[in-house]
Structure 1
Amino acid sequence: MLFGKNSFFGGRSPRQFNYKPVYWDPEKEEAQAKARMRAKSPEGEKLSLLLDYKRDLRRSKRKTYNLRIFIIVILLLLFFIFLT
């Protein structure tokens, strides 16, 4: 009787906490909502093309902006290396 699960020294084991967090991706959720909207409406294809065009335009602007900053940093480094 003393050596069972509820023995004097053993006691009960602690309860387990089985929480599994759910990762929420707002971009993926937005993309799925847009896909559902395109599938429902007949004008969805035009909307899809417009949204894709805007997304590609933003990406290209971001790339050129990053390239511009990179070139400026390189030129400043060269300036300080060779002219000082």
Structure 2
Amino acid sequence: MGHVRHQQLVGGALEILIRIGNRLCEAGLVARDHYEEDHRRVLLRLTDRADDSLADLSAAHLDELGRIEPMLKRLLAGRGA
């Protein structure tokens, strides 16, 4: 996705982003890395737990798509598509 500087955030976006980051850290999904040269800067990175969760979600999503595909095809065929 890329890096975002706090100057690029407007309104309450920075506070919201901080709250979301805190919640993700508390859940063990994100880790904070501080820059040595500037301790105000923080890099958020996904943890192994987040990677595992995303893999599980991806597998569940693909399974769900596989189950609904025949139904969607029947619905579309019934509409003459």
Q: TM (normalized to structure 2)?
A: 0.41
Larger Rg: 1
Q: Name whichever structure is richer in helix by fraction.
A: 1
Q: Name whichever structure is richer in strand by fraction.
A: 2
Q: TM (normalized to structure 1)?
A: 0.40
**Structure ranking higher on relative contact order (CA contacts 8 Å, 6+ apart):** 2
